[in-house]
Structure 1
Amino acid sequence: MADEAPFQFLHSELIQYIYKSADTEDTENGRNISKLENLGCRVGQGLIERLTKDAPRFKDELDIMKFICKDFWTCLFKKQIDNLRTNHQYLAFTCGLVRGALSNLGLRSVVTAEISDMPACKFQVLIQKM
């Protein structure tokens, strides 16, 4: 338990709070998913500002994605993104984190995730041209 990142504890508490504070209608029509994704987006925007405040500008989209997969993800989960282990309930928040971080780095995106073989999941980032 001491090895787990503090972010993972916060993450777990946020999800529990969203689901406990919601009524049945919220759960049925997907508002919880939207709340988690939007909350993740705001957290991702704030975190990426802190992580990149003293860093030089990225050269291109590939450099940004490398930073997200290595440094950003390691800051959150103490491992790189290619080794993510998660639960399907957490994916909305995590997609929001990535979308928010990319947004603050100047990339508008759609981030989705799928679980093909538990506990692994696959994130797809679609960069949208502005």
Structure 2
Amino acid sequence: MGESVLFEFLHREMVTRVHSQAGDTEHGKCISTLEGMGFRAGQGLIERFTKEAPAFKDELDVMKFICKEFWTNLFRKQIDNLRTNHQGTYVLQDNRFRLLTPVSNGKQYLEEAPKFLAFTCGLVRGALSNLGIDSTVTAEVSVMPACKFHIIMQKP
């Protein structure tokens, strides 16, 4: 329990720090910086989490691992829903995303959501990258604190 609170606090402080250094004019640069930080962290974390895991058969196995093991290790719960079109596009839905809960009081915070999701998009993209899957990861929020992460696999 204490670890998750520390992670949430660290995340909130990191987002605040990156945005306060850049100011309002460089919103895109802040998102990019946070995503890059998440990418590097995701690469390292997936190495630890897959150290004793069996080899994955295909992309779907990788995504199941991300939804169950990776997400549980980070957020203390599994993804609520995984959908795919079986053509390289996956949607992971978390109905109570921990990192949005503290800022989810009202619709005015919907515009603030992207900066709180950038790091997690990077985490997922970094983890997939280290497993040999190039991808694009974006997040969508329509009702706080629920969010969907869209993952599009890049074909070689």
Is TM (by shorter chain) over 0.5?
yes
| Number of the residue aligned with 1:62 | 60
| Number of the residue aligned with 1:14 | 14
User: SS where residue 136 of structure 2 aligns?
Assistant: strand
Amino acid corresponding to residue 55 of structure 1 in structure 2: A
Aligned Cα RMSD in Å?
A: 1.8
Residues 3-82 of structure 1 aligned to structure 2 (within 5 Å): 4-27=4-27, 30-82=28-80
CA distance in 1, matches of 2:26, 2:152: 28
Q: After TM superposition, give the deviation of residue 23 of structure 1 in Å.
A: 3.5
Identity %: 59
CA distance in 1, matches of 2:3, 2:138: 28
| Number of the residue aligned with 1:111 | 137
Aligned residue pairs total 128
Q: After TM superposition, give the deviation of residue 129 of structure 1 in Å.
A: 1.1
Amino acid corresponding to residue 128 of structure 2 in structure 1: L
User: SS where residue 123 of structure 1 aligns?
Assistant: strand
Q: After TM superposition, give the deviation of residue 80 of structure 1 in Å.
A: 1.2
User: SS where residue 117 of structure 1 aligns?
Assistant: coil
Amino acid corresponding to residue 23 of structure 1 in structure 2: G
Amino acid corresponding to residue 35 of structure 2 in structure 1: E
- Change in CA separation of 1:115 and 1:24 when aligned onto 2, cut-off 3 Å: closer
TM-score, L = length of structure 2: 0.75
Asked if the contact 1:8/1:77 (under 8 Å) is kept, the reply is no
CA distance in 2, matches of 1:104, 1:127: 13
Moved over 4 A (4+): none
Q: After TM superposition, give the deviation of residue 71 of structure 1 in Å.
A: 0.7
User: SS where residue 81 of structure 1 aligns?
Assistant: coil
User: SS where residue 41 of structure 2 aligns?
Assistant: helix
